[in-house]
Amino acid sequence: MRDCDAIVDALTQASPSEAIVRSAAPHLRDCPTCRGLLSLDNALARSAGPVRQGAALVAALERDMAPVRYRSAAQRSLMPFGAVAAVMLSGATLLGRPMTSTALPWVASIAMLGLACAGAAMVLHRGPSGLGPPLRWRRAYLVSAGALFVLSTLATTRGIPPTLSLTNPLADHVGLSAVNAVSVSHAPTLGPMQNLGACASTSLVFAGVIALALLVSSRRTVPVSSGSMGAVVGASAGLAAAAALQLTCATHIAHALAAHGLPMLFATVLCTFLGRRALAP
């Protein structure tokens, strides 16, 4: 090894000055370049001091170093799947509407419920590397959820009533809030837009309960594409809400798309942005 190379190698060690003084003192007297390197190393060693850390950096380091209690997938699934069960029970009983007796709405509701639960399982699944399901799976789920809702709506909705009632007030036609969903039952004479606000607000409440449970259960567990995972959260929550209303509100296609479908779309878009904040580590 050349003397210059030996000095450069010595400068990378813990105590370069002592090593150089002992072994390369004659070469340092004859080589100004190596003397300059040694002087620079000594100057850097004297100026080096403790690194100042700002309050934000200290807080971030303390948060990252804090111990995390491990929760299995079964433990994390209790809250979201419990929320799905509560929403389905509320849609079937608390709304005070008679449930349909035909088979097709039941099949559609069960299919939407099954796909909604599959979306919740996708959110909770971390995979062997901890990165969750691939991005293409999430995109495929979003397309499948939208397609299933549209197909179920087309298959189960009834025809347009021939006339609208002129004796009922406007509030009975449109519905003002979720209260109308209980106090005013669907009547074919009121037309397809009856209880539009009632069903929409009810669907938003149902979807919000499920989405909140999923976001809390999966908080800070999605290191890659957390926005797309948030979209899966919103789509599965909206689909479960639509499944809860399917058994008691299989009416005209315009009502179903507006009052049941738009809340699902709204939940998907909103949870896309919420997922970037709540799901990202």
**266-279: string of b/e by CB count within 10 Å (b at 16+)?**
bbbebbbebbbebb
- What is the amino acid identity at position 59? A
Q: Write down the pLDDT at residue 23.
A: 62
Give residue-wise pLDDT tens across range 36-61.
Answer: 777 777 776 665 556 666 787 777 77
CB 239 within 8 A of CB 143: no
Q: Write down the pLDDT at residue 192.
A: 41
Which residues of the chain register pLDDT less than 50?
1, 159-193
Q: Write down the pLDDT at residue 272.
A: 94
CB 189 within 8 A of CB 164: yes
Q: Write down the pLDDT at residue 147.
A: 94
Q: Map out the domains of the chain as residue ranges.
A: 3-47, 71-278
Cα–Cα distance for residue pair 149/243, rounded to 1 Å: 9
Q: Write down the pLDDT at residue 145.
A: 94
Give residue-wise pLDDT tens across range 225-273.
Answer: 889 999 999 999 999 999 988 877 766 777 788 888 899 999 999 999 9
pTM summary value: 0.67
CB 235 within 8 A of CB 141: yes
Which 3 state secondary structure label does DSSP give 158? strand
